[in-house]
Amino acid sequence: MVDRQDALLAQMRRGTLQYCVLALLGSDELYGFDLVRRLAGVDGMLTSEGTIYPLLARLRRDGLVESNWQESSSGPPRRYYHLTDAGRAALEDFRREWGRFRDAVDTVIEGRGRP
Amino acid sequence: MSATADRLVAHYLKRLNRELRDVPRGSRREIVEEIEEHIAEGRAGLGEEDVTAVRVLLARVGEPEEIAADARQRLGLPPRGHGAREAFALIGLLIGGLAFVVGWFAGLALLWKSNAWTTREKLVGTLVVPGGLLPAFLLLGLGATQCGGGYENELTGPVEQNCTVTFSLPGQVLWTALLAVCVVGPFFTTIFLARRMRRPAAVDYQPSPGSA
């Protein structure tokens, strides 16, 4: 039962996590550890912290995010991420589509189908 | 910073690097470097560092296998099927015992290291039959020695005749039954394990969504 629930969450997370990352970066410039901490605060968003980094590598490769080094007051310099214009556009597309998609799913699973 | 904690982290990063070996070098280096930074950041945040806290930290970062599976999926690489390691495990278990016994132990080590099988399946692989085909060969050898002994005593007698003489009937039946088990068992196990072999759970592959 728990397994099935985990699998379901994993599947839903797979398609949406990258947009959650884009959304977080849309309002703030963040470094990896920070990003993980914010996602970990939201139930079910992140299973293991390390998996954020392959995702960031992919987003960077696709040109949706960029990173730059910044000095930190405590410890070594940090790699901060921010959205590119393409990243911002991808996030906007997702926001719009997600709203429609969520409404469509709600309509079906809550039985609010048209007569 | 304790030396043990440093060793734990170094070992973890080494495992991660190894698991990511089929990821293109640029991406691999990025991922490993950033996880290294992540761990350093986490350790800096620990008030008083003890080994347990570092273990917990590493557990939160995740199993290297899981991260690697995720990386392959995110970067659009095919999932790593169970390949060479598992094949060597099966070969080692089946006939490794004949290579001075160590081959079987090598196969056993690979079997238990792999995540392609459940613990129960690994137990079957270990216990049916320990040594693989080695016991069968030992039994055959035993039979041959018995016959050979008789043969030397009666230089002109045919081998078969001596065998029947040397072995009592119950002994022969037991020997045949044991031999059958020792031959069929390892083959059964090899086929069983080959069929039960699975891909890592984290990878039900689908191409990652294309960039916008």
Residue B89 falls inside a structural domain: yes
pLDDT of residue B149 exceeding 60, the answer is no
Residue A115 falls inside a structural domain: no
Q: Tell whether B160 and B185 lie within a shared domain.
A: yes
Q: Tell whether B69 and B96 lie within a shared domain.
A: no
Q: In total, how many domains does chain A have?
A: 1
Residue B144 falls inside a structural domain: yes
Instruction: Give me Rg for the CA atoms of chain A.
Output: 17
DSSP string for residues in B95-120:
HGGGTTTHHHHHHHHHHHH-SSS-HH
Residue B204 falls inside a structural domain: no
Q: Tell whether B42 and B145 lie within a shared domain.
A: no
Rounded mean pLDDT, A65-90: 90
Q: Tell whether B70 and B87 lie within a shared domain.
A: no
Query: Do A61 and B27 count as a contact with CB atoms less than 8 A apart?
Result: yes
Q: Does A92 touch chain B (CB under 8 A)?
A: no
Q: Does B209 touch chain A (CB under 8 A)?
A: yes
Q: Tell whether B120 and B42 lie within a shared domain.
A: no
Rounded mean pLDDT, B174-201: 81
pLDDT at B10: 96
Of B67, B75, B212, the CB nearest to A51: B67
Q: Does B211 touch chain A (CB under 8 A)?
A: yes
Angle at B27 between CA A53 and CA A9, to 5 degrees: 35
Q: Tell whether B98 and B186 lie within a shared domain.
A: yes
Residue B109's domain spans which residues?
A: 83-196
Q: Tell whether B65 and B30 lie within a shared domain.
A: yes
CATH number for position A82: 1.10.10.10
Instruction: Determine the Cα–Cα distance for residues B33 and B20; give it in Å rounded to an integer.
Output: 12
Per-residue tokens: B185:
């068992």
Instruction: Determine the Cα–Cα distance for residues B86 and B81; give it in Å rounded to an integer.
Output: 10
Q: Tell whether B62 and B120 lie within a shared domain.
A: no
Give Cα separations from A63 to A59, A87, B4 (angstroms). Answer: 6, 7, 40
Residue B211 falls inside a structural domain: no
Rounded mean pLDDT, B112-137: 83
Query: Do A64 and B212 count as a contact with CB atoms less than 8 A apart?
Result: yes
Q: Please, which pLDDT band fits residue A113 given cuts at 50, 70 and 90? A: low
Q: In total, how many domains does chain B have?
A: 2
Query: Do A48 and B73 count as a contact with CB atoms less than 8 A apart?
Result: no
Residue B201 falls inside a structural domain: no
Best mutation target, A31, A49, A69, A96, to test chain B (most B CBs within 10 A): A49
Average pLDDT, chain B: 79
Of B30, B40, B61, the CB nearest to A48: B61
Q: Tell whether B38 and B128 lie within a shared domain.
A: no
Residue B212 falls inside a structural domain: no
Instruction: Determine the Cα–Cα distance for residues A53 and B34; give it in Å rounded to an integer.
Output: 7
Query: Do B31 and A57 count as a contact with CB atoms less than 8 A apart?
Result: yes
Contacts for A102 with CB less than 8 Å, ≥ 6 apart = none
Q: Tell whether B66 and B99 lie within a shared domain.
A: no
Q: Tell whether B99 and B54 lie within a shared domain.
A: no
Q: Tell whether B143 and B63 lie within a shared domain.
A: no
Rounded mean pLDDT, A62-67: 95
- Give B-chain residues touching A93 at CB under 8 angstroms: 212
Rounded mean pLDDT, B186-209: 65
pLDDT at B210: 42
Percent of the residues in chain B that have a pLDDT greater than 90, as a whole number: 21
pLDDT at B79: 73
